[in-house]
Amino acid sequence: MIQEPIDVLKQYWGHQDFRGSQLEVIEAVLAGHDVLTLMPTAGGKSLCYQIPGLIKDGICVVVSPLIALIQDQVSQLKKRNIKAIGLTGGLSQDELVKQLDNCVFGKYKFLYLSPERLQQSLVQERLSDMPVNLWAIDEAHCISQWGHDFRPAYLECGILRDLKPEITMIALTATATKPVARDISEQLGFENFQTFKDSFQRPNISYSVVEDENKNNRLYTLCKEVKRSGIVYTRTRRNTLEISTYLNKKGITATFYHGGLSREDKETKLRLWMDNKMKIMVATNAFGMGVDKPDVELVVHYQIPDCIENYFQEAGRAGRDGSVAKAVLIFDPSDPSKAREQFLDSLPDTTFLKLLYRKLNNYFQISFGEGKDQSFQFNFNAFCEAYKLRSSLVYNGLRILDQYSVLSMSQNFQRRTQLQFIVGKKVLMTYLEKNRDLAVMVQNLLRTYGGVFDFETRINTRLIAQKSALKENLVLKALERLHADRIMTYQAGHTDLDITFLVPREDDTTIYRFASEIKALRRMKAEKLQQMFAYIENTKQCRSKQLLKYFGENLLHNCGLCDVCLDRNYNPASEDERIRKDILTALEGHAYSSRELIDRLSCNEHHLLSTLQSLLEDRLIAVNSKNEYVKNR
């Protein structure tokens, strides 16, 4: 008996009705149409393939970009007694075979896998044997080179068409511009397909941009007002630890999350935050995709994101339950130049790629016209040092050469040597007095890397070897000894990787084949960053209007919640009088700095400072020797 979509929704999810275009999408899929679905974060995209997957006989195969996202989706389905499997990392060959067999014979309804897993021949063979009822491509913007989160492996999703061309396909995303949407449909071979786009508007989110040289204090002010939970996004792993440590010292429960944590640590930290045992999650930008936590009332961006797509998607993790929530971007005057350096200066141009390719061939002594299918072990640090090349440019250059199939890099390339001293300085000095052969190396380590007592720190063992006049293998043995003696934690990550050249050496001609695409990519990255800057600088137009316009949507009315709208609605006469009274009341028998007054009164900084100036001119208040404001008697 074929069930109606509304009955499945009520049975498994307990909802009484669909939202937006959900039902239209589901009916189109059930009718056998390929579908491109554009819905905002928290718009309920997953139901658009989960309900057809349940109604139709067979198994729905979902391609998803992140392990955390896969785990969360599978967990949510299992809670509803729906049989689902996720092919996440760490599976042995036997476990993988067992899981795939379960999908073929075990009446499972959903199989989640990454695009990288899709490339395995074993997986492709078993998918051919499965009773697939629907292909679902989640976060489909990853397939577009012009999207903000391009994943080359996503280009392999087209193989699904070859495996079972008769099966319907749905692609879903929350952040696609018109060019990206067009690219998605072309890459997936959509022809007679239907497109559904719901409004990206999130009327319950208040968007704000704040410039503050003391970002930590501003962050504390925002986080202390949080009653339920919040997210702070930052760009570096070290910052996640530093910021969470700062918040905890200020009495706000916080934990941190980034890609370098072990699977166990990720699960533990996520669970603490999901269960509201930790109020604030400080994380790098990969965090949160697909995590179903409805009570996030604050999302803070501690640095400028690289594009509006990323910002909008991450800010959209606030207020999923419909309650009023805040999305605040904090920046200081130096942040724009830092963003340009990180996102643009480390992006190779065609001139650098030609240089890099020639140097690689020379390094491995490959003759012109030779090299195809030859593999080599490659020491990254040694190569950069030999040719005096910036490591960030080389790293990104190798990724581009891998992306355009000039060469293939081993997957473990991103591993790095990390360490942290777990004893105090006094204990370390005592240890070195007994192990004098380690003293010079350790001293050079301490001089070169700050924070090794406080954080897991990435180090360049070759650099330490040079400074210590030692061979690198001796430095590695010394670090292992310090780890064994419980002086430090040490995670070895050698800079060797395997490189396979996929085409014969042709020098500039090799790069020329995709030079125009590299130029277009650099231009697109620069444009996206400039659009982010324009959003920050535009204090005349409603923030929601700016964001929706970027995605091709015109908002008729101002949101009334963002910093621009609130500033526009500011009534100087009545508001100044209120602030004057609040300041004088606060200073009754107390002395406060301007920052303390801003925190206590929770009002606009600019308005408070101008009111303080007015009160000083009227001689109702004064400034004491500690630069605090006091009330005149």
Give the 3-state DSSP-derived string for 190-228, with helices as H, strands as E and coil as C.
Answer: CCCEEEEECCCCCCCEEEEEEECCCHHHHHHHHHHCCCC
pLDDT of residue 245: 93
Task: Render pLDDT for 90-141 as a digit per residue (tens, 0 to 9).
Answer: 677 888 889 999 898 888 999 999 888 888 888 899 999 899 999 999 988 8
pLDDT of residue 289: 66
> Position 145: which residue type?
Q
Chain center to CA of 631:
48
Task: Render pLDDT for 31-42 as a digit per residue (tens, 0 to 9).
Answer: 999 999 998 877
Say yes or no: 443 and 467 in one domain.
yes
What is each CA distance from 104 to 98, 110, 330, 367, in whole angstroms? 10, 11, 50, 49
| Mean pLDDT within 524-548 | 93
Tokens 């009916």: give the residue: 27
| Mean pLDDT within 220-228 | 93
d(CA 466, CA 482): 19
Do β-strands 84-87 and 254-257 pair in parallel, antiparallel, or remain unpaired? unpaired
pLDDT of residue 397: 92
pTM above threshold 0.85:
no
**3-class SS string, 10-76:** HHHHCCCCCCCCHHHHHHHHHCCCEEEEECCCCCCCCHHHHHHHHHCCCEEEEECCCHHHHHHHHHH
540 occurs within a structural domain: no
Say yes or no: 119 and 266 in one domain.
no
84 occurs within a structural domain: yes
Say yes or no: 115 and 134 in one domain.
yes
CATH number at residue 272: 3.40.50.300
E runs forming strands in 465-550: 488-491, 496-501
Task: Render pLDDT for 233-266 as a digit per residue (tens, 0 to 9).
Answer: 998 888 999 999 999 999 999 999 987 777 788 8
Q: Using the predicted structure, report yes or no on whether residue 415 has a pLDDT greater than 50.
A: no
> Position 441: which residue type?
M
Say yes or no: 248 and 358 in one domain.
no
> Position 450: which residue type?
G
Ordered strands of the 193-197 beta sheet: 84-87, 110-113, 59-63, 132-137, 169-173, 34-38, 193-197
pLDDT of residue 604: 63
602 occurs within a structural domain: yes
Task: Render pLDDT for 547-599 as a digit per residue (tens, 0 to 9).
Answer: 999 988 888 889 888 999 988 765 556 666 778 888 899 898 888 888 788 76
Say yes or no: 459 and 514 in one domain.
no
**Residue 286 token pair:** 């990969």
- Direct distance between the N- and C-terminal alpha carbons of the chain, in angstroms, rounded to an integer: 84
Q: Is 316 exposed, middle or buried (0-12, 13-18, 19+ CB in 10 A)?
A: buried
> Position 180: which residue type?
V
Say yes or no: 393 and 444 in one domain.
no
Arithmetic mean of pLDDT over the chain: 87
309 occurs within a structural domain: yes
What is each CA distance from 560 to 313, 564, 576, in whole angstroms? 21, 8, 20
Q: Using the predicted structure, report yes or no on whether residue 416 has a pLDDT greater than 70.
A: no
Q: Where in the sequence is the domain holding 130, given as residue range(s)?
A: 5-197
Do β-strands 296-301 and 325-331 pair in parallel, antiparallel, or remain unpaired? parallel
> Under DSSP, is residue 229 helix (H, G, I), strand (E, B) or coil?
strand
| Mean pLDDT within 519-536 | 91
d(CA 579, CA 607): 8
* Inter-residue long-range contacts of 579-587, CB under 8 Å, 24+ positions, other chains counted: 579/603, 579/607, 579/608, 579/611, 580/611, 580/614, 580/615, 583/608, 583/611, 583/612, 583/615, 583/621, 583/629, 584/615, 584/620, 584/621, 584/631, 587/621, 587/629, 587/630, 587/631
Q: Which of 178, 197, 216 is the last residue of a domain?
A: 197
- 351-365, 462-476, 606-620: range with highest mean pLDDT: 351-365
pLDDT of residue 95: 86
**Residue 467 token pair:** 């400074």
> Position 284: which residue type?
T
Percent of the chain scoring above 70 in pLDDT:
94
Say yes or no: 157 and 282 in one domain.
no
189 occurs within a structural domain: yes
Say yes or no: 143 and 22 in one domain.
yes
| DSSP 8-state code for residue 345 | I
Percent of the chain scoring above 90 in pLDDT:
43
Q: Using the predicted structure, report yes or no on whether residue 414 has a pLDDT greater than 50.
A: no
Q: Using the predicted structure, report yes or no on whether residue 365 has a pLDDT greater than 90.
A: yes
183 occurs within a structural domain: yes
What is each CA distance from 130 to 106, 396, 411, 618, in whole angstroms? 10, 38, 28, 81
**Residue 30 token pair:** 């059930």
Task: Render pLDDT for 286-332 as a digit per residue (tens, 0 to 9).
Answer: 676 657 788 999 999 999 999 998 899 899 999 988 888 999 999 99
Structural domains in the chain (count)? 5
Say yes or no: 105 and 239 in one domain.
no
Say yes or no: 282 and 395 in one domain.
no
Do β-strands 59-63 and 110-113 pair in parallel, antiparallel, or remain unpaired? parallel
pLDDT of residue 575: 63
57 occurs within a structural domain: yes
Say yes or no: 481 and 515 in one domain.
no
**Residue 630 token pair:** 């006091």
Q: Which of 312, 333, 354 is the last residue of a domain?
A: 333
**Residue 325 token pair:** 């929530």
CB hemisphere CA count around 527 (13 angstroms): 10
Q: Using the predicted structure, report yes or no on whether residue 533 has a pLDDT greater than 70.
A: yes
Q: What's the CA angle centered on 97, arms 92 and 100, to 5 degrees?
A: 125
110 occurs within a structural domain: yes
Say yes or no: 166 and 127 in one domain.
yes
